Chains A and B, each alone.
Chain A
């Protein structure tokens, strides 16, 4: 199956992510598929190599979900990696991809998580549309 992204999809995804950045004050947000490919991205990527960021977050999330099953959980709904200056929050979107957020001291994990939950709901139908057209 090939995922095909048109101008309209890009505009919708970017509009939702822009709203998320404004609401949460996160540094950047991107949508990555389960295999580590970037669908779209918004925010301040200065000094960040985005392809390894996508590949590693997809790997990290996948291994975290496998870890959940080891201890008898179906899934961990979100994953946080906390750093001194920058942190990462990853959550699943539409059973297909990941919302990857990098944030710093301008906001809090609580705020990011809250906004991410609403954002995932908005992203769901758009991503479902992309998947339904893919072949």
Chain B
């Protein structure tokens, strides 16, 4: 549910990084936080982190001039990936304008990817949406690990909805692909908002 504030000339958009536990969602946000100029960013908020696992969400607000005449504020959130945190995952997903699905490329995690993607669809359905109603991209993370599934196989598992979506290979720990993913989802979300408004 994007907010278009004509009075303030601001558009605020919520983007949620979704995916199975330990797939690299927080690592994506940490890299963005580390690289974006301090002038355009406030601190990243990570709440209730147990070891290296997110228990509630991470939050990172960024501002861009992607839309002429407007300040575009993108609010990046991660959800907790572990299966047992579905209630909090659902709360964070509320009002999302776009989703980055961060899949773990390891062979052993393909089942977790599929289950998490199904969980995303279920949670969107609880909010009255289907996966085709919301802009999303697929990020195949951890491509540097030896035991990775082929991209074609991950496409077969995850990119099989009515509308095929952009997919990206990434190594979030090194930042590879992180901004390609962010740019793509931001552009897709803004395009959808502009289309909705013109309609």
| Cα A104 to Cα B59 with chains together (Å) | 26
Given contacts A7-B6, A59-B47, contact A33 B91 (CB under 8 A): no
Q: How near does chain B come to A115, taking the closest CB pair, in angstroms?
A: 25
A residues in contact (CB < 8 Å) with B = 1-7, 9-11, 33-39, 49, 51-52, 55-56, 59, 62-63, 66, 135
Contact for B94 among A10, A49, A56, A62, CB less than 8 A = A62
Q: Which residues of B are found within 8 Å of A35, using beta-carbon distances?
A: 1, 14, 94-96
Chain B interface extent, by class: 20 to 34
13 residue pairs A–B, Cβ–Cβ below 8 Å: A5-B5, A6-B6, A7-B7, A10-B8, A33-B3, A35-B14, A36-B59, A37-B12, A39-B5, A52-B43, A59-B91, A63-B56, A135-B199
Contact A10 B199 (CB under 8 A): no
Q: How near does chain B come to A70, taking the closest CB pair, in angstroms?
A: 9
Is B182 among interface residues, defined by CB-CB distance under 8 A?
A: no
Q: Which residues of A are found within 8 Å of B1, using beta-carbon distances?
A: 1-3, 33, 35, 37
Q: Which residues of A are found within 8 Å of B8, using beta-carbon distances?
A: 5, 10
| Cα A35 to Cα B14 with chains together (Å) | 8
Q: Which 9 pairs, one residue from A and one from B, show the smallest C-beta to C-beta distance?
A: A35-B95, A10-B7, A62-B91, A51-B61, A5-B5, A55-B59, A52-B45, A7-B7, A3-B3
State the majority secondary structure of interface residues on A: mixed
Q: How many A-B residue pairs have CB under 8 A?
A: 88
Contact for B196 among A10, A33, A135, CB less than 8 A = A135
Contact for B95 among A4, A36, A49, A51, CB less than 8 A = A36
Q: Which residues of A are found within 8 Å of B94, using beta-carbon distances?
A: 34-35, 62
State the majority secondary structure of interface residues on B: mixed
Contact B59 A49 (CB under 8 A): no
Q: Which residues of B are found within 8 Å of A52, using beta-carbon distances?
A: 42-43, 45, 59, 61
Contact A36 B7 (CB under 8 A): no
Given contacts A49-B43, A52-B43, A52-B45, contact A4 B6 (CB under 8 A): yes
